[in-house]
Structure 1
Amino acid sequence: MVAGWLGITQAQLSRVENGPQLVHLDRLSHWATLLRIPEAQLWFSLPLSRPGMQTRQFAAEFTSDERPGTTDPAVMPTTLEATPDEGGGTTDRRRFTTLAALAGLAGNGLLDTLTKADREIDSIGMEHIRLAGSLVERFRQADAALGADELCDVAMRIHTRLSAWAASSHYGRGFGDALQSGLADLANQVAWLAVDANRRQHARPYLNDAITRARIADDPHEEVRALACLSLLTREDHPAESLHCAEAGLRASRGWATARLRTLLRLRTAHAYAHLNDIGGFNREMTKARHEFDHGPHEDDLPFLQFVTTQELTGIQGLSHLALGKPARAAESFRAISSRPSAGHRRNHIYYTVRLAEAELRCGDTHSAAHTGLRTLPEVKALNSGRTMRHLAQVKSHLGRERSAPAREFVDAYRTAFQR
């Protein structure tokens, strides 16, 4: 009734009532733990008696070879081999990078709560909603910097656990909307991680789950986010469906969408039109996307829209030109990105640089493609993005048929970097 008076949904009112997450002390605890500052020198208590212990236990549990009562490939764990460390002993570099990104999970009792989820819980409260929200934000930050490969399985297992936990718990009817919204947010994030990890076949079930939960909670924000991701997922193989999803997102967000959200949805429609070889539709939607982007950010922008920057606008333009068979124009867009890195979105910058090499190849400029590939090779190796790696492998496959010195240099460097 109160939500009706205010003209907002129950889920929105619930978020207002419960207030923003308390994150500042969590950050201080996390930083103090990473820097190994003695607790006696702090004005607050650290949540861990042995720094790093719970993080290691968490990783072992969520990346172990056990399959918790399911053979669903979407929740299969990551298996990584240890590699020799230069200083002696064995260190799994990729897992270390991932754990560093996920270390924030140990900073505010999240791991304790997840551990308790193994046991039967009679009731569920707002602290569990905050848990889901904290997980999503941590995954989003780590993914933007590092890529999704090593995060994907962990996120899938957490989604499986929290969903089962919520299904077996008891909670009030009014609280259910906030719970479903939180799980929809988590499902959307897991779907994106699957896309970037080049595990696209696993993404769609999570998007379907997000849409279902968003409908139950009457949360149009998460529903539109899922539709935007579904448009991204289907644009290459099913561009007509991609277009329908983006248009559905525009309809569902009419009246409340911010300029940044409209920008994203217009970019999705533009890219879908490009894959449909509809130049007029592409140009029309790109013009609308630029017009919306020029309105600037807004305080009501959803957190996941942080990647909608000038870099992304230029990148989608380049990808669309590739789809339209205009590699020279695509290369112009990708070069603009490569020369002006976007702070905070390292993974996307590397991805578009790899696509620059692909565009140069399509222009017949194998020398430039080889030099671009060689330049970005160390960055791709340090990244955990299966999607980016797939495109670099395609560049290597094409250059492998060339006899020029730059092409051979890139192919040899690629094989050295990724030999097993």
Structure 2
Amino acid sequence: MTQTNCPRCGGRLARDNDSGRCAPCQAVERDRLSAPPAVPASFWEHEPVRQALASRHLGRAIRAYRFHPYHGRSALPQTVVAGWLGMTQAQLSRVENGSPVVHLDRLTHWAKVLGIPNALLWFTLPEAWLSSFREAATRTGVPEPDCHDHKNLVGSPATAPSFEVSTKEVVTTDRRQFHALAALAGLGSVGELGFLATLADESPSIGLEHVRLTSSLVKEFRQADAAAGANQLCDIAIHVHGRLASWAAKARYSRDVGEALQASLADLAAQTAWLAIDAGRRAAARPYLNEAITRARLVDDAQVEVRALAQLALLTRDSQPTESLHCADAALRISAGWATPRLRTLLHLRRACAFAALQDRSAFEREMRKARQEFERGPHQSDPEFIHFVTFQEVQGLEALSFLALDQPRRAAEAFRDAIANPSPAHRRNQLYYRVQLAEATHREGDVNQAARMALDLLPEVRQMNSRRVTQYLTDIRSTLGQRPRPAAPVRNFIEAFDGEADR
């Protein structure tokens, strides 16, 4: 046999070595079933890989990755790489041989898992995006995004902005709308929104680049919502969704673009539904979820379908708990075989909350145990982007809400205190939401004056947070406390402060 070098380390191979790897390299890579190997920079200079990336087809790039000489004489099996990426072998085969995937969440996840350098990609990874935004903010003197609406405590929904105007005009004419837009992606997404809106009016055709821009907005909506709430973002999302859906109905596009467009619009519909829920427009959310499920099924996008079903379980939890349970069951069934522990955590939490609303304590406790068991398995590199909020705080908070539904306010208060003990800067709205719920649990325990003090302390933050859902819960506390015949000073102080804010 001809003596050659190991493609990984460059060492000489023994003449009888037919594996394509020296013994030390084989030992290092025995764990490749669980994670991709660390590859050198020269790996990405391999011509088939560069050509695949230049064609903007990540499926072909994954195939070139699998057949790279660095891995030895035999290509990496599809089953192995599919496991890294959180899909089945059949799904990976379709990705490699089918039309280009343009769903930004999937592209960024796969690129991060394989470690593809950002410079070789035609889209921007989240870390690079944040860095570029900060650089742009430094150059222009624009502060970090601030979505606080200091006048919106119980007011009417913001008017949907007009995207026909330029970025400069948006900033000049409506500072509050500009801040809501800036929360999407700094200065960049305002231009993207205007660009897409202009095309929706003027362009008779849709291309993959337009679909990519649409997908990128979903991620930006999600990040802004977690930090600042959905009141004004909801108006923007509804406006954008309507324009793009109308454009898609009348524009021309290829079959490949059509499939990508359906997936992108399904994700946008699901995100719009969530923003409607947080903005207190629950009735408006359901049509978007129905649309997301329909579009997802048209293109076999199980991940978006599961996301929409999980949101539908949340939407119907209090008013139709049996339907909520069916939605969570369907999501678990559809995701069987590929769901990560964090996703299973969320779906078991949805089941637990539904059982609590149905007053089935034993079933609630069983589902909570399953949720905690899945959560303790930790995050996974294949976690979908939409479950970023499934943290310890969320597990504790949903358990606490279930205790309230089961009329156990003491246990609810204990769980809420655990939930808010370690706040996350990226999830300010959820932190405030559970603090308001703690005040409600304290009131239901019987400590009315302490609940009033807590509510008074929360009032400035609720006033600044653009979440009508959070505002409504504080409004409910004010309404309940206002029914007391001879309220003590803490209750009077809170009611006067709340009503004073509402009159502004």
Fold match by TM threshold 0.5: yes
Deviation of 1:36 (Å): 4.1
Which residue of structure 2 aligns with residue 138 of structure 1?
220
Deviation of 1:385 (Å): 0.5
**Which digits, 9 at most, give the CA deviation of each residue in 1:344-388, with x for residues without a partner?**
110000001001111111111102211211121111111010110
Deviation of 1:396 (Å): 0.8
Could you tell me whether the CA contact under 8 Å between 1:267 and 1:285 is conserved in 2?
yes
**Secondary structure class of the residue paired with 2:307:** helix
How many correspondences in the alignment?
377
Distance (Å, rounded) in 2 between the aligned partners of 1:108 and 1:172: 28
Deviation of 1:285 (Å): 0.3
**Which digits, 9 at most, give the CA deviation of each residue in 1:271-320, with x for residues without a partner?**
00000000011000000000000111111111111000000000000000
Give the root-mean-square deviation of aligned CA atoms. Answer: 3.0
Q: Is 1:380 aligned to 2:380, yes or no?
A: no
Which residue of structure 2 aligns with residue 41 of structure 1?
none
- Return closer, same or farther for 1:112/1:325 CA change in 2, 3 Å cut-off: closer
Deviation of 1:390 (Å): 0.5
- Aligned residue type for 1:35: T
Could you tell me whether the CA contact under 8 Å between 2:206 and 2:257 is conserved in 1?
no
Q: Is 1:15 aligned to 2:117, yes or no?
A: no
Deviates more, 1:174-183 or 1:266-275: 174-183
Which residue of structure 2 aligns with residue 246 of structure 1?
328
Choose 1 or 2 for highest CA Rg: 2
Could you tell me whether the CA contact under 8 Å between 2:228 and 2:467 is conserved in 1?
yes
- Return closer, same or farther for 1:240/1:170 CA change in 2, 3 Å cut-off: same
The correspondence for 1:168, drawn from 244, 247, 250, is 250
Which residue of structure 2 aligns with residue 309 of structure 1?
391
The correspondence for 1:35, drawn from 133, 138, 143, is 138
Q: TM-score, normalised by structure 2?
A: 0.69
Distance (Å, rounded) in 2 between the aligned partners of 1:93 and 1:327: 42
Which residue of structure 2 aligns with residue 86 of structure 1?
none
Could you tell me whether the CA contact under 8 Å between 2:357 and 2:406 is conserved in 1?
yes
| 1:15-414 matched pairs, under 5 angstroms | 15=101, 19-20=107-108, 21-23=123-125, 27=130, 30-37=133-140, 77-78=159-160, 94-95=176-177, 97-102=179-184, 104=186, 106=188, 109-402=191-484, 403-414=487-498
- Return closer, same or farther for 1:388/1:107 CA change in 2, 3 Å cut-off: closer
Identical positions, percent? 50
- Return closer, same or farther for 1:92/1:389 CA change in 2, 3 Å cut-off: farther
Distance (Å, rounded) in 2 between the aligned partners of 1:110 and 1:250: 35
- Return closer, same or farther for 1:300/1:273 CA change in 2, 3 Å cut-off: same
Could you tell me whether the CA contact under 8 Å between 1:26 and 1:107 is conserved in 2?
no
Distance (Å, rounded) in 2 between the aligned partners of 1:277 and 1:263: 21
Q: TM-score, normalised by structure 1?
A: 0.82
- Return closer, same or farther for 1:33/1:343 CA change in 2, 3 Å cut-off: closer
- Return closer, same or farther for 1:210/1:336 CA change in 2, 3 Å cut-off: same
- Return closer, same or farther for 1:16/1:414 CA change in 2, 3 Å cut-off: closer
Deviation of 1:37 (Å): 4.0
Distance (Å, rounded) in 2 between the aligned partners of 1:274 and 1:17: 36
- Return closer, same or farther for 1:394/1:107 CA change in 2, 3 Å cut-off: closer
